[in-house]
Amino acid sequence: MKIVVGLGNPGDKYAKTRHNIGFAVIDRFVKSCNVEFTKKYRDSVISKCIVEGEEVLFVKPQLFMNLSGDPAKRIIGKYNCSLSEILVVLDDINIPLGKTRIRERGSSGGHNGLKSISNHLRTTCFPRLRIGVGNSLPEDTKEFVLSRFTKEENDVIESTLDKACKIINCWVTTDISNCMRLFN
């Protein structure tokens, strides 16, 4: 089994914000599989899909972004997955709007949700898919990531969500090296 963890903040107040792009990506993927997030496990909502014969668990932690590590660690422990079999999907203000970057490992890059996961897992050696949400400079970073996309940005984000789903499908069906070669 593989696990895809989308990062975001719970609640309608944060829906469709830049910081919730991780939730938006896995919502789109799960919807394409004709399933929904109907199950709960502790502090997460989960959904299982079969992707080209591979069972995949999609996870949306329901604690705030900065606390994502604990729910992620619990899910990984429950399903006894190796770290190479998880993929964390998150927003990144250091990547231009609509660009994607998949990596096998790396630093948090200042992202507090990713930092929380790294701290709980005690490693930075797990795959992650970063989605560019634009750059906040010189704006306040917190205010920027909690803002919604403009009408002009929405078209870019819609195609980016589709691309991110293709990347996830590639990661599930091949491997991280192939995904990096094809999509970075």
Q: Is 135 assigned a ligand-binding role in the annotation?
A: no
Among 2, 18, 19, 128, which one carries the catalytic annotation?
19
Active site residue 19: yes
For 116, phi and psi rounded to 5 degrees? -65, -45
Q: Is 79 assigned a ligand-binding role in the annotation?
A: no
Q: Is 66 assigned a ligand-binding role in the annotation?
A: yes
CB 99, CB 16: distance < 8 Å: no
Q: Give the separation between CA 65 and CA 113, rounded to whole angstroms.
A: 5
Q: Is 34 assigned a ligand-binding role in the annotation?
A: no
CB 114, CB 129: distance < 8 Å: no
Q: How many CA atoms lie within 13 A of 96 on its CB side?
A: 2
**Whole-angstrom distance between the N-terminal and C-terminal Cα of the chain?**
25
Binding-site annotation, residues for tRNA: 14, 64, 66, 112
Binding-site annotation, residues: 14, 64, 66, 112
Q: Which residues are catalytic?
A: 19
